[in-house]
Amino acid sequence: MNKRDYQKEEMEIAIYFDQEEKLFHIQSKDMSYIFDIMDNGQPGHLYWGKKLNAFRKRKRPADDFRGILTALGQEYPAYGTLDYRYPAYQVQRDNGTTITELRYDSHQIIKGKEKLKGLPATYVEDDDEAETLKVRLLDPLAGLEVILSYTVYSDYPVITRSALFKNTGDRYLYILRALSTCVDFPDSDYYFLQLSGAWARERNLIKRPLLPGVVSIDSKRGNSSHEQNPFMALLKGNADEYQGEVYGFSLVYSGNFLAQAEVNRYNQTRVTMGINPFDFRWKLEKGEEFQTPEVVMVYSDSGLNKMSQVFHNIYRKRLARGKYRDLERPVLINNWEATYFDFNTEKILKLAREASELGIELFVLDDGWFGRRNDDTSSLGDWYVNKEKLPEGLKYIADEINKMGMKFGLWFEPEMISPDSRLYEKHPDWCIHVPGRKRSLLRNQLVLDLSRQEVCEYIIEQVSSILESANISYVKWDMNRQMSEIGSAALPADRQRETAHRYILGLYRILEEITSRFPDILFESCAGGGGRFDPGMLYYMPQTWTSDNTDAIERLKIQYGTSLVYPLISMGAHVSAVPNHQVGRITPLKTRADVAFFGNFGYELDLTSLSQEEKEEVKKQIQFYKSVRRLVLEGNFYRLLDPFTGNNTAWMLVSEDREEALAAYYQLLAEPNPGRYSIKLKGLDPDKKYRIVETDEVYGGDELMYAGLEIEINPFRNHDFRSFIWKLESV
């Protein structure tokens, strides 16, 4: 194809190859990604950014260096051949050496997108939605083949990347490093943005400038973790929420990961992301393959909010799957903070009756219903009903709750095992452990070894047996501890460092099997709250318990940060009791609901202890949420005021057709003698009129966006933790 053939207004295809220049031009909505095959046979990176109609290949700054690669942009670099930056991959041969040189052999452009074997990934429902480029690289001396996959979607400024390793030689290879993507930027004028925190304060925004050297985030805990989320973004110069260039990277994986930006001596930046190479080594026998997880890469020319909307749309429409992907989610009540382990059939049904009268649609029975589970010291792995607490069994409770007009849901923690359990007594080697070393307990439990097929089969059958025993419509799938003493009794010595990744592959196999067997059940993932809130889990379960911290004020930061990547419909958000069980704060019932409305709405408190006035307020909250939950499912989200930098937070949702919107404003601490506040809304149609349902006032969309909506705070009735919420309808 001639390099001028793709200079057209309307593009019929998305990926072009210029044979003469050996140049690949990948185009999607608003975006171009360009690389070529350099003179040394390696793929070299040239451009990623705003869409170009054509690209004239330029002379590389290091061409005169005669092969010195340390200043060249590359697509999938190795270490050891005059590039001293961190590589995208590293492979060790049977002779102990780790020098490899992958060179271009061929490529293929196909319609649509293939599934990744054993791994979650974005998908297509029609082959015309996307195109995929597969670039085949070879190192004949090492007997190594790597296929780089690039998928571009027609409707999203998104590229997904992954790599497939194949051993084509006669001897084994060890993969020491196999990252999913590498992008070399020509400069370093960026801020590095990450989502960091800890248990009960997940996904806080951290931003810092890039400087010479390495900035990285990672997890070595066996899951994606509370501490770091498998996401990073580079913000160009002064880019902010609504202006400037932003490059987002999100890894579709639930285990140990690495996301890194390295600035070299020429102030060029290399971004890499994938499975964490720390304590990782994968043996690749003759003829075997290894597939890396997928990285979803988003380019925005209009700041962070556009990047977020792209992630929201593709993750909601082309990552989440199943019946509930496009369905409104039920309003639920979870008994955990109402009862903890102290419950019986009578107490559960009493709480359920109260919930039914208030309009709640789903009752969830949390931890404590199985084995001899009266606290957190026993019974994980023993998935049979605790007849001392629930002598009539789960079916009776489910049937009684169904008679009240509600669905019934159940909590599980299938990946764990208690030393005080029948399962551990029978199979003490089924946990992750190293022979001769102590088995550290966290929350009085150990982690089952999902690298073992028999353990996976046990979990599948035990969970399936419970789900078949009663009319269960919802499952909360929890994981309350991370890995330690990582090793497997079933793996040989030269494969021990494969354990953590094999665990994740086993988990994905379990989730694929169970969610396929029970397609009518709504699954929600959880890991001590938000310890595994990642795209890999969203592929199997369309929502995640956002955090164990249910305090409304803390949730402003948690939900704001989570929204950077994940759609609101993926976030579990509940109204809980006061004083709050995590921080002891007392906030108004209205404020607690106004925060939780922007997610999968529910309650986690003892409804029977509420006053009649509070019950009436809860009833109105539920009615209101039911009137806006389609907007929560499908609307475009706009962040207006940042809780990390000020006393106030604001955000809003706007329907795709801009006919309706939901806006909220939250004040943390009261101020003496406050002035007049206004917030400028986003995403409305400037030519439409909007009625505010709560006041019946009518404003122009242009007035609300450019002049703002005034907030009236009475200086004599001002108090901490106030919230205002507005439902807007076009007239």
Please give the positions annotated as active site. Answer: 478, 548
Could you give phi then psi for residue 71, rounded to 5 degrees? -110, 5
Half-sphere exposure of 230 (CA within 13 A, CB side): 34
Closest listed residue to residue 254, CA positions, set 528, 500, 599 = 500
651, 700 Cβ separation under 8 angstroms? no
Task: Give the count of beta carbons closer than 10 Å to the beta carbon of residue 689.
Answer: 15
Residue 336's alpha-carbon distances to 343, 364, 552, 605, 611, in angstroms, are 10, 9, 17, 8, 20
Write the DSSP assignment of 276-328 as a string of letters.
--TT--EEE-TT-EEEPPEEEEEEESBHHHHHHHHHHHHHHHHTS-SGGGSSP
**Nearest residue to 609 (alpha-carbon basis) of 344, 348, 338:** 338
Q: Tokens at residue 106, please?
A: 């061929």
Of 530, 524, 663, the closest CA to residue 601 belongs to 524
Q: Work out the burial of residue 711: count CB atoms within 10 Å of its CB; fewer than 13 is exposed, 13-18 middle, 19 or more buried.
A: middle
Angle at 117 between CA 114 and CA 123, to 5 degrees: 35
The residue assigned the tokens 């310890």 is 531
How many residues appear in the chain? Answer: 731
Helix (H) or strand (E) holding 150: strand 144-153
Closest CA to 483 of 429, 416, 428: 416
Pair type for strands 709-711 and 648-654: unpaired
Give the amino acid at 264. N
Give which of 569, 540, 684, 701 is closest to 628, Cα–Cα: 569
By C-alpha distance, which of 205, 213, 255, 263 is closest to 232?
205
Q: H helices of 214-288, where?
A: none
Q: Classify each residue of 281-317 as buried b or exposed e, where b means 16 or more C-beta atoms within 10 Å of its C-beta.
A: bbbbeeeeebbbbbbbbbbbbbbbbbbbbbbbbbbbb
Kindly state the DSSP code that residue 568 receives in the 8-state scheme: G
Query: Which ranges in 149-287 belong to alpha helices (H)?
Result: none
Residue indicated by tokens 């304590």: 279
- Which residue has tokens 């919930």? 355
Secondary structure E strands in 76-143:
89-92, 103-111, 130-139
Give residues with Cβ within 8 angstroms of 545, minimum separation 6: 476, 478, 524, 525, 526, 529, 530, 572
